Structure 1
Amino acid sequence: MPGTAGPRRRPGGRPRTPPGGRRDARRPAGPPRTLRLGPHHWFAEHLLAVVSGLRPVHSLLGHTVGPAYQQLITLAPTEPLRDRLRPVVRQCGRFTPGPGVIEAFARIATGDRLSAMAFRLEQGPDLRWRCAAVEIQGPRP
């Protein structure tokens, strides 16, 4: 019949059907959506790993500017974390006072103890974020 379209056929004569799980026959589904976290989340996890002794201080050498590296040296323990509880980031937030600057905080839990970490990130001319200051309040993680 002219004007009615049946199922599309492949060269072999079999009808073309969309793969299972597809909703749109015109194009495949895109990649699954993932939650994109900001640079303050990355820095919170890595700073916590350094100040708790899970990572060496020099692992953040290219990610710090100014006095932040010296602050990390004084905050980091001399012994690696072995028999103690592992601290975790419970919440991380940020404030953007201007372009290229993030002032962030992280709430850290170590067992039933809570502490807070504040840090400042600055974006360089190469558009990479670097930590410019770190401060910890409460029991050390």
Structure 2
Amino acid sequence: MTPHELFAERLLAVLSGRRPVHWMLNHSIGEGYQQLVELAPVAPFRTAGARPVVRTCRAHPLVPGIVEASACIATGDRVRAMAFRLEQGPDLRWRCAAVELDGRHDGRPGA
């Protein structure tokens, strides 16, 4: 599994309420963690029906050590967009630096 695919699954676990937001503390930096703190309480992927799954996930390398990724998250017949940025630190570990849902930082569907 690639880093962006792994992070898509990790972010989905937090945003569906299956994992607490602090589970990502060592896997995120700066705004990335703060955005998760704001998104997690609304649990935008929590549903009573079908369990949400990552349908597709694509990486868009910007420069060495920085990747922007996009994922389609399916919950039953509903599909939403998730975008996130990964940065590789001096220790070569990838960390989430930003996350958006449907083009927004607050988790509500865009207008």
Normalised by the size of structure 2, how large is the TM-score? Answer: 0.85
Larger radius of gyration between Structure 1 and Structure 2: 1
Gaps of 5+ in 2: none
Residues 78 and 109 of structure 1: CA distance in aligned 2, closer, same or farther (over 3 Å) = closer
Superposed CA deviations along residues 72-101 of structure 1, whole A, max 9, x for unmatched, are: 01111367x573431100000011110001
Give the aligned partner of residue 53 of structure 1.
17
Residues 78 and 92 of structure 1: CA distance in aligned 2, closer, same or farther (over 3 Å) = closer
Question: Partners in 2 of 1:83 and 1:103 — Cα distance?
Answer: 30
Q: Is the 8 A contact 2:86 2:96 kept in 1?
A: yes
The percent of aligned pairs where both chains have the same amino acid is 61
Give the aligned partner of residue 28 of structure 2.
64
1:75 to 32, 39, 56: 39
Give the aligned partner of residue 115 of structure 1.
80
User: What pairs with 1:1-141 in structure 2 (closer than 5 Å)?
Assistant: 37-77=1-41, 81=46, 83-137=48-102
Question: Partners in 2 of 1:73 and 1:126 — Cα distance?
Answer: 25
Question: Partners in 2 of 1:52 and 1:75 — Cα distance?
Answer: 10
Judging by fraction of residues, say which structure has more helix. Answer: 2
Q: Of the two structures, which has the highest relative contact order with CA contacts closer than 8 Å and spacing of 6 or more?
A: 2
Question: Partners in 1 of 2:42 and 2:4 — Cα distance?
Answer: 25
- Which amino acid is the alignment partner of residue 113 of structure 1? R
Question: Partners in 2 of 1:125 and 1:78 — Cα distance?
Answer: 33
Gaps of 5+ in 1: 1-36
SS at match of 2:97: strand
Superposed CA deviations along residues 49-86 of structure 1, whole A, max 9, x for unmatched, are: 1011111000000000001111001111367x573431
Judging by fraction of residues, say which structure has more strand. Answer: 2
Return structure 1 stretches of 4+ with deviation > 6 angstroms: none
Q: Is the 8 A contact 1:121 1:132 kept in 2?
A: yes
Residues 54 and 108 of structure 1: CA distance in aligned 2, closer, same or farther (over 3 Å) = same
Normalised by the size of structure 1, how large is the TM-score? Answer: 0.68
